Chains A and B, each alone.
Chain A
Amino acid sequence: MSEQIDEGLRRELQRQGVWVTSMQELYNWGRKNSIWPLQFGLACCAIEMIATAASRYDIARFGGEVFRPSPRQADLMIVAGTVTKKMAPQIVRLYNQMPDPKYVISMGACAISGGPFKEGYNVLKGIDRYIPVDVYIPGCPPRPEALLHAFMELQRKIDDQKLTGANKADHLTAAQPSEFPVPSFGKHDLEPPANPDVFHPPKIERA
């Protein structure tokens, strides 16, 4: 794999017009340059996402312009906007219906934590309570540049994923789940309020 190719030798060969690559690099190179997002937006952040896809910011430069209306064809879920408790089960279900490998960008304060509506009775306090998030973008709303930055971070992450070995990518490990339990509507809140397998909030120590 890529660790075994000596960088100096590779550059030397490249100067002679010989390209050396590995299966892993080829695979990741193909994947990271054709990330197809799922076409759905939830609130004001979605407008910024639309702007990112349009001609001025042009996410097509990064290979992400093919917004798919079906989760079956999507690689990336951009949770752009306020996730209400009414919407959360649908989002988890959509995520479950996406084929592996799949990634999630949590866009904006709302998708990260509930944002300005955190104290609201009907707003989910962060989509990472139910599905694993790869990249978070703070902001209210984040500018299109921020989304592009998140996209590039995701590309970097995909590029680093391993095909073999102990810490290979999740979608290549049979034991890693691909579907996560969908919350149901309880009496006052979603049941369960968070998926403990996914949600690991940092502990705040007060002195």
Chain B
Amino acid sequence: MIPDPYLFIVIFIGVALVFPLIPLALAWAWRRFFQPPKPGVEKNAIYECGVESIGEAQIQFRSQYYLYAIIFLIFDVEAIFLVPFAVAFTGLPVGAFIAILVFLFLLIEGLVWAWGKGCLQWER
């Protein structure tokens, strides 16, 4: 007789339940009969590196931060464009060179503009 093909899954679920339950039950019995639990303020503290936590964890970041991220991103992308340009530099025509200079100029002009606007000032 062929056993039901789903029988294995039933057995598997049974083993998967009993197997982790045994150590949990043992740990519970150990705590119940031998080792009294000793919770405390510091033992239950959330931060666990010996330093007291200050203030709330759910703080809001200022939107100022967003500006730095954007400026950083622009110059990060610029580097990606500059690397292939530098690698192929000797074989490039004059037009390509001027094109990359224009590209650089636009970015630097943007930086000067942001600087002038006071975007690089760290505000708290």
Contacts and interface: CB of A to CB of B under 8 A. Distances in A.
Q: Do A and B bind each other?
A: yes
B43 interface: yes
Given A90-B50, A96-B42, A179-B38, 7 more contacts: A70-B48, A71-B48, A90-B51, A93-B42, A99-B43, A173-B36, A182-B42
B35 A171 contact: yes
Interface in B33-48: 34-36, 38, 40-43, 45, 48
A171 B38 CA distance: 9
A71 B41 CA distance: 15
Q: How large is the interface on A (under 10, 10 to 19, 20 to 34, 35 or more residues)?
A: 20 to 34
A100 interface: yes
Nearest to A99: B43
A31 to B, nearest CB: 12
Interface in A133-175: 163, 171-174
A96 B52 contact: no
A70 B49 CA distance: 7
A194 interface: no
23 contacts: A72-B48, A90-B50, A91-B50, A93-B51, A93-B52, A94-B49, A96-B42, A96-B43, A97-B43, A97-B50, A99-B43, A100-B38, A163-B34, A172-B34, A172-B35, A172-B36, A173-B36, A174-B36, A177-B38, A178-B38, A178-B40, A179-B38, A179-B42
A94 B51 CA distance: 8
A96 B35 contact: no
A40 to B, nearest CB: 8
Q: How large is the interface on B (under 10, 10 to 19, 20 to 34, 35 or more residues)?
A: 10 to 19
Interface string A91-135: 101101101100000000000000000000000000000000000
Interface string B25-38: 00000000011101
Contacts of A182: 42
Interface in B3-59: 34-36, 38, 40-43, 45, 48-52
A179 B50 contact: no
A36 to B, nearest CB: 15
Nearest to A164: B34
A96 B48 CA distance: 10
Contacts of A93: 42, 50-52
Instruction: Identify the 5 closest CB pairs spanning chains A and B, nearest first.
Output: A90-B50, A178-B38, A174-B36, A96-B42, A94-B50
